[in-house]
Structure 1
Amino acid sequence: MILGVNILRIVSCRLSPLRILMIGNSKTLKEEKREELFENLKADESIGWDADVIDPRELSHKMLKKEKINLNEISHDSAIGLINNVLNLGVLLTEVYLDTVGDAEKYRVKLSEIFRNIKFVVAKKADSLYPVVSGASIVAKVTRDRALRDWVLDETAEHLHRNFGSGYPGDPGTKAWLADHTHSVFGFPTLVRFSWGTCTSYSKDFVEVLWESDATEQDGNGKTDKRQMKLTSIGLSSSKRKSEEIESSGKSSCKFFQSRKLKLLSNF
């Protein structure tokens, strides 16, 4: 999963111009080659596509909220939305080929029940089996590469840099960037999908904060004792007076407050 940008795709076109794109896994191609193939697709007027780009913050919200939505379901919903987009354009869509997300047959049945007049072919590694999926894979990867390359970082901390490599889990540059941009309290910059499995190894150094509503503990007398970590223990002021003094002086005990332009509010 790329730092957080997830793109699902469907291509609607004649198959013959795409037979030259039996390239297998597009991730194995260099970025320059993917760009070249993408431009070739754009030059062919018989080929069209639609791409759905999902913001990493949306993915994190859906996957980490109380009633979690897993990545497979998010992917399915995205594909369904793309199919609807194509149909709403008035395209006569009779067949759809997809790389599977989860169980291939269950995915096919799910789609067939929603779109009863369309034939669905869902297969593992479909980009190495069907030219139309190879073309879709190129569109997805190039759209993702460009989104990552042009990404405007929300954070303004001094140590931030854009040398995050390809954004794939096996990229040493991406791993180094994650290590350099890990904060014990705030996690990662918003470019990163917090639910990304690659982030797990960095979370061992995160500070665990227990709020009063999150946990209770019974003492030896059977009384319930609410426990809460003091924010002062991790460098954050919990004193109202002290916080006001820091705020009024324009200083902050944490650079992340400054970079995110967070301010103390005494009245709501």
Structure 2
Amino acid sequence: MALPDVTCSSGVRLLSQLRSGEEWIKEPCILGVDEAGRGPVLGPMVYASAFTTASTDITGRGYADSKTLTHASRSKLFGAIDADRGVGWVAHVMSAEHISAGMLGREKTSLNAMAFDSTLAVIRTALDAGVNLTHVYVDTVGDAGRHRERLMRAFPGIEFTVCPKADSLYPIVSAASIVAKVLRDKALTDTQQSLGLTGEVGTGYPGDSATTSWLRAHLHPVLGFPRLVRHSWETCNRLLEPPEGVTLRFEADEAEEGAGGGDGGGRGGQQQKLSFARAPGAGGALGAAGAGCVETSGLGRATYFRARKLQRVAEAF
């Protein structure tokens, strides 16, 4: 199965079947949103939407919560959805690498924030294509009322129904659930093959023994896991501990006796650190970021900094 209309950017793909040339998208339309892959430690998280006219009856098409369907049934239904000229869909696919970078980066982004941005993306993409959305149904796992308020602020003029188990209650959300699950499974398999990773990954959830066995089999004791894995999951942190993983000790600044004053080696065994944060009362200069950081002229500094003659600066910008 080929994935249409792929846009790549920093581990994010936007896939769609927008039906932008069809006249029916100008009629009042409904749209459903659901996700697949929020909890697994392996592979991408996919938020998908499906949309059609509000007057179209889709109750007899067999759409259901994707978790209740077999792989074969999901694939068949996705094929029908994709080929139906009266239905469109959009999917926002975030790779495991992108999720890990967001959750572990310097400016951390929570999974909830990424999920909300994905929901906005699939709705906005349909609107930008000219779809006349009047009512959007969203499956949620958090505070439904708060989620609905945020969506209404983002898209004034559109009615929102937000509730748990929406994929079982509203056929248009069921259709979105099928799209999300099929595309996640496809992306998971494709990534595994492209990286040359073998073995049965199981469901991808941390509680699956097949998944944890696969993780152990593909764990490098120093470099960790391949890009298919979400390094930000606690499951990975535990597996990286000895004996599976190796404890690494990095060279650090140490106090040098006889440095004199207090401007040389670290005082009282404190570790010296370069800081890019403005210290309170520093008068605009860059100083120590916390109580355990000590200004230094270079004595007692790590070899890496001394060899390259790297010094502290008054201003970074």
> Which TM-score bucket, shorter chain as reference?
0.7 to 0.9
Contact 1:19-1:131 at 8 Å conserved across structures: no
Which residue pairs with 1:256 in the alignment? none
Distance in 2 (CA, whole Å) between partners of 1:161 and 1:74 is 29
Structure 2 gap ranges (5+):
1-38, 256-266, 273-317
1:85-139 CA-partner distances (Å, limit 9, x unpaired): 1011011011111111421111110110010011111111111111111110000
Is 1:16 paired with 2:54?
no
Which residue pairs with 1:207 in the alignment? 246
Distance in 2 (CA, whole Å) between partners of 1:109 and 1:187 is 40
Are the structure 2 counterparts of residues 179 and 121 from structure 1 closer, same or farther at C-alpha, using a change threshold of 3 Å? same
TM-score, normalised with respect to structure 2: 0.62
TM-score, normalised with respect to structure 1: 0.73
Distance in 1 (CA, whole Å) between partners of 2:212 and 2:70 is 19
Shift of 1:45: 1.6
Contact 2:43-2:188 at 8 Å conserved across structures: no
Distance in 1 (CA, whole Å) between partners of 2:149 and 2:114 is 17
Amino acid at match of 1:150: D
Distance in 2 (CA, whole Å) between partners of 1:34 and 1:197 is 31
Distance in 2 (CA, whole Å) between partners of 1:225 and 1:41 is 60
Which residue pairs with 2:6 in the alignment? none
Shift of 1:147: 1.0
Which residue pairs with 2:168 in the alignment? 128
Sequence identity, in percent? 42
For 1:115-194, what aligned pairs fall within 5 Å after superposition? 115-151=155-191, 160-194=197-231
For 1:61-140, what aligned pairs fall within 5 Å after superposition? 61-140=101-180
Q: For 1:53, what is the secondary structure of its paired residue?
A: strand
Q: Which stretch of the first structure deviates more once superposed, 125-134 or 38-47?
A: 38-47
Distance in 2 (CA, whole Å) between partners of 1:98 and 1:212 is 50
Are the structure 2 counterparts of residues 119 and 27 from structure 1 closer, same or farther at C-alpha, using a change threshold of 3 Å? same
Amino acid at match of 1:135: A
Greater relative CO, 1 or 2 (CA 8 Å, sep 6+): 1
- Considering fraction of residues, name the structure with more helix: 1
Amino acid at match of 1:34: R
Distance in 2 (CA, whole Å) between partners of 1:19 and 1:210 is 62
Amino acid at match of 2:188: L
